[in-house]
Every structure is written in C-alpha cells, then in structure tokens.
C-alpha cells in the first residue's frame, strides 16, 4: 500500500486507536454523554477512511489522479472539524464546526462517488 491509499489507511488506524481509548475512558468514567462523537470518530474516521484506503489500493489509476489527494484533504478536514463539532453540539456550546465538518464529510463522499464512476467507466 502506498500514496493516498496509505494516507487513508494510516488516518483510519489513528482514528480507531483514539476512538477506542475514548470508548474505554467513557466506560471507565460511566459518562457516555459524548458517545455520539465517539461513534462518528470510529465510523467516519475508521470504517469510512479504511474503505477509501482499500478502494485506492485496489484501484491504482484512481489513487494516481489529482482528485484523490483533494479527496483525502477534504475527508481529513471533515473528520477533524466534525468530531470536535459534535462534542460542541452535544455540550450546547455551538454548532458551527459540526455544520462545516459535516458538509466537508458529505463533499468527500461526493468526490468519492465521482471517482468511483470515472474509474468504473474506464475499466468496463
């Protein structure tokens, strides 16, 4: 694994490592208030990023395209803005970061949709 595929995969593993530590902390303290943010770190950070990484590993032509690096940048920005944004939203201290992060996360999936369609057409 190399390039964008590796970037996505390393990001995913970092996210789930942090997400698991966060889960243990919630269990140990008995305070599950931030469970929604923990869930998004794991599902958007680990599951989604890992799937992106596997796709780019299996589709080298897609990983070499300039759009792949844009995809990684938008997805990473979405994750690091959205998760603290959900924490803020749960604590009722603001919703701006959650809104910006969620739109970036959606945009990253739209970029991925475009990538999948472009490369599906090229290989059929």
Closest C-alpha to 71, from 119, 101, 114, 18: 114
In the complex, the smallest distance separating the C-beta of residue 81 from ligand HEM, rounded to whole angstroms, is 19
The torsion region of residue 99 among left (phi > 0), alpha (psi -120 to 50) and beta comes to alpha
In the complex, the smallest distance separating the C-beta of residue 21 from ligand HEM, rounded to whole angstroms, is 7
Q: Which helix (H) or strand (E) holds 18?
A: helix 3-29
Piece of the chain touching ligand HEM by CB under 6 A; list 19-27, 50-58, 67-75, 94-102: 19-27
In the complex, the smallest distance separating the C-beta of residue 67 from ligand HEM, rounded to whole angstroms, is 27
Closest C-alpha to 69, from 51, 50, 56, 83: 56
Nearer to ligand HEM, 41 or 68 (CB): 41
Burial per residue of 47-71, b for 16 or more beta-carbon CB atoms within 10 angstroms, e otherwise: ebbbebbebbbebeebbebebbeeb
Phi/psi at 2 (nearest 5 deg)? Answer: -150, 175
52 binds ligand HEM per the rule CB under 6 A: no
35 binds ligand HEM per the rule CB under 6 A: yes
Nearer to ligand HEM, 40 or 59 (CB): 40
27 binds ligand HEM per the rule CB under 6 A: yes
85 binds ligand HEM per the rule CB under 6 A: no
Contact residues: ligand HEM, CB under 6 A: 16, 19-20, 23-24, 26-27, 32, 35-36, 38-39, 42-43, 46-47
């Amino acid at each position: 694994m190399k390039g964008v595929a590796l970037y996505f995969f390393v990001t995913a593993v970092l996210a789930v490592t942090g997400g698991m530590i966060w889960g243990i902390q919630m269990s140990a303290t008995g305070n599950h208030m931030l469970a929604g943010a923990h869930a998004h770190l794991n599902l958007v950070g680990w599951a989604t990023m890992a799937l992106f990484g596997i796709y780019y590993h299996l589709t080298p032509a897609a990983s070499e395209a300039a759009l792949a690096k844009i995809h990684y940048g938008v997805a990473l920005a979405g994750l690091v803005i959205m998760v603290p944004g959900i924490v803020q939203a749960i604590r009722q201290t603001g919703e701006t970061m959650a809104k910006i992060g969620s739109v970036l996360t959606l945009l990253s999936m739209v970029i991925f949709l475009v990538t999948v369609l472009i490369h599906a057409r090229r290989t059929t």
